[in-house]
Structures are given as structure tokens and as C-alpha cells.
């Protein structure tokens, strides 16, 4: 299986994770909650739902992911894509994300993805499509173990191979993308 990791660093516009020392900088939601940066595998590959995802690097007080505010990403893919994997999360419940996939001859495909909510009861969302942190960072610095943040692998299987040169995301600021991967074959996981 060949994978093409779509770089997101230059498009990063939001903060999902904070270090213990800068929890007050968290703002995934209005209460200032965030992922624990010490646990998120920034700068490494995370396999979730059978798809490898390359997460960007993380620096304190700098954006670490993409909040969907209408965006076009060049894929730089040299493979015929069969599966698109999105690693992300949503706020205020599950959210839909409309996307357009543009081919090398300007042909277009359209899809709608459902991106799952980021907070779960510990281990409720555990499974191959979910990466779950051990705790949630609260801006005020206290600890509660009632909810934990999760990243979800959302899989889009294309009906036939497609040479995607760019992917266009419609605006939904409640959807957050941590990583995007194109694969040359179908993924068998759910």
C-alpha cells in the first residue's frame, strides 16, 4: 500500500493541544479545553483505522491543525487514490464536512463526511478508528476524568482510482483536521 501524506503545516490555523505549562492557551471550545500535547503523537505517524497519518510538529503557542474555514489543499500525490483518510474531530456533536476532490484534468468528485465529536467518556469510543488521550486539559489547570479528547479516523472510499491534485473543504469551523492521507488501495477497516 502506498500512502501520500498531505502536508497541513502551512495551513494550520488553530490550536488543539496544549502542554501542561500552557493549558490556559487552550481554545478548542469556549471553555478553553484542549488535548494534552504531551500525549498526541506530533511529528510522528499514527495508524488509526488501518490508515497511517503523519501529524505535524507541535510548538507551544503555535497552531497545530486546520480548522475548516473553506480551504483548498494541493495533494502533491503521485498515486491513483482509492481511499482518503482524514484524522480529526468536531465540536458540538458530530459534524458534516463537504469536500470536493479535483482531478488532474479538472474533473470533480463530491463527498460528505461525518466527523465525530471529540469528547467521550473514557474508553467509550475506543476502537480501531479512534485515538484517545488519557485526560482533557482544562484551561484553569484542574483535572477531571469524566471526559477525554479523541481523534477519529474518517475514511472515504472512492468508487474507482482517482488522481486527486487538490481537495477543497467547505467552511465548517466546528470541524478540525489533524492529518490527511491518500492511499492507493481500499482500506478494509470500518
- The model's pLDDT over 115-138, given as tens digits with 9 standing for 90+, comes to 999 998 887 666 788 999 999 998
Average pLDDT (21-48) is 90
CA angle at residue 180 from 72 to 139, to 5 degrees?
Answer: 95
**What pLDDT sits at residue 188?**
66
Sorted by where each begins, the domain ranges of the chain are 3-183
Could you tell me the pLDDT band of residue 145, with boundaries at 50, 70 and 90?
confident
Q: Is the pLDDT of residue 189 over 60?
A: no
Average pLDDT, the chain: 91
Average pLDDT (148-159) is 95
Nearest to 172 by CA among 90, 88, 73, 87: 90
| DSSP, residue by residue, 16-80 | -EE-GGGGGG--SSTT--BEETTTS-TTSEEEETTEEEE-----TTS--BEE-SSEEEE----S-
pLDDT in tens, 86-104: 999 999 999 999 999 999 9
Please answer whether residues 184 and 166 qualify as being in contact, where contact means their C-beta atoms are separated by less than 8 angstroms.
no
Model confidence, pTM = 0.94
Amino acid at each position: 500500500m502506498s500512502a501520500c501524506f498531505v502536508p497541513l503545516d502551512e495551513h494550520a490555523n488553530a490550536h488543539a493541544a496544549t502542554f501542561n505549562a500552557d493549558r490556559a492557551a487552550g481554545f478548542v471550545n469556549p471553555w478553553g479545553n484542549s488535548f494534552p500535547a504531551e500525549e498526541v503523537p506530533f511529528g510522528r505517524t499514527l495508524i488509526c483505522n488501518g490508515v497511517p497519518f503523519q501529524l505535524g510538529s507541535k510548538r507551544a503557542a503555535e497552531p497545530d491543525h486546520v480548522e475548516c474555514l473553506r480551504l483548498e489543499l494541493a495533494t502533491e500525490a503521485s498515486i491513483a487514490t482509492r481511499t482518503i483518510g482524514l484524522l480529526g474531530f468536531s465540536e458540538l456533536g458530530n459534524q458534516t464536512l463537504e469536500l470536493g476532490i479535483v482531478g488532474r484534468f479538472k474533473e470533480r468528485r463530491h463527498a460528505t463526511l461525518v466527523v465525530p465529536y471529540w469528547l467521550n467518556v473514557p474508553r467509550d469510543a475506543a476502537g480501531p478508528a479512534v485515538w484517545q488521550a488519557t485526560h482533557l486539559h482544562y484551561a484553569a489547570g484542574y483535572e477531571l476524568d469524566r471526559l477525554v479528547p479523541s481523534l477519529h479516523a474518517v475514511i472515504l472510499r472512492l468508487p474507482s482510482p482517482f488522481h486527486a491534485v487538490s481537495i477543497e473543504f467547505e467552511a465548517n469551523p466546528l470541524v478540525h483536521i489533524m492529518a490527511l492521507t491518500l492511499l492507493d488501495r481500499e482500506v478494509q477497516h470500518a
